[in-house]
Amino acid sequence: MSNDNYAHATRANADYAAGFDRGGKPIPPAKQAAILTCMDARIIPTEALGYELGDVHVIRNAGGRASDDAIRSLVISHKLLGTKEFFVIHHTDCGMALFDQETMERLLASSLNTATPGPDGWSDPGGSDGSDAGKDVDWLTFKDAADAVTEDVKRVREHPLVPGRIPIYGFMYDVDTGKLTEIEAASAIGKAR
């Protein structure tokens, strides 16, 4: 199944490019906004928020966390490309709440093969390629997604390279209904000054 993606993607792109008629746009996003969200495959951020190609920046990582690299992108987004509003969007049923730092370190030390979740937690199939380098990475896990939105908005808000005039909105996206719900505590912290 999954190894068919090379053939799928190259074939699908030939059709996409054949019908592509939206070239020639400038680099700065037309709607002057940036969205930080999770890499979860069930979210299409631009579609969910009503944006078209060229409208907004979308910065994604596991959990939609305000990591150093996410903030690097947000700063570039504003400083060089003129965005004026930031959205931080986490979502229901996020996989990042299903493990913690210690678990990830343990699984990686066991092997680099894909682990499986079970009633008693994650189990690793084992293998010869385990590595303890997992402890050198902050996996940025969380227990409560709404709390994590607030934490991430706060981290962006307090960053010295993010100007206070940029409003940062905190939202939760429901992957089953497609509905966005504002996290008031997060948006309050992210309010423009």
Phi, psi of 174 (to 5 degrees): -90, 115
Phi, psi of 106 (to 5 degrees): -65, -45
Length of the chain: 193
Under rule CB under 5 A, residue 40 binds Zn ion: yes
User: By CB under 5 A, which span of 8-16, 31-39, 120-128, 162-170 interacts with Zn ion?
Assistant: 31-39
> What's the closest the beta carbon of residue 43 comes to Zn ion, in angstroms?
8
User: By CB under 5 A, which span of 20-28, 32-40, 79-87, 146-154 interacts with Zn ion?
Assistant: 32-40
Q: In the beta sheet, which residues pair with residue 182?
A: 171
User: By CB under 5 A, which span of 5-13, 26-34, 91-99, 184-192 interacts with Zn ion?
Assistant: 91-99
Which of 32-67 are b and which e, b meaning 16 or more Cβ less than 10 Å from the residue's Cβ?
bbbbbbbebeebebeebbebeebbbbbbbbebbbbb
Query: What is the DSSP pairing of strand 121-123 with strand 116-118?
Result: antiparallel
Q: What is the DSSP letter of 180?
A: E
> What's the closest the beta carbon of residue 54 comes to Zn ion, in angstroms?
25
Under rule CB under 5 A, residue 172 binds Zn ion: no
> What's the closest the beta carbon of residue 130 comes to Zn ion, in angstroms?
25
Angle at 32 between CA 29 and CA 38, to 5 degrees: 80
Nearer to Zn ion, 57 or 90 (CB): 90
Nearer to Zn ion, 58 or 94 (CB): 94
Nearer to Zn ion, 40 or 152 (CB): 40
Nearer to Zn ion, 62 or 75 (CB): 62
Under rule CB under 5 A, residue 156 binds Zn ion: no
Under rule CB under 5 A, residue 94 binds Zn ion: yes
User: By CB under 5 A, which span of 16-24, 87-95, 120-128, 163-171 interacts with Zn ion?
Assistant: 87-95
Q: What is the DSSP letter of 128?
A: S
Cite the DSSP H helix spans in the chain: 5-18, 45-49, 68-79, 101-110, 145-157, 184-190
| Residues of this chain that bind Zn ion (CB under 5 A) | 38, 40, 94
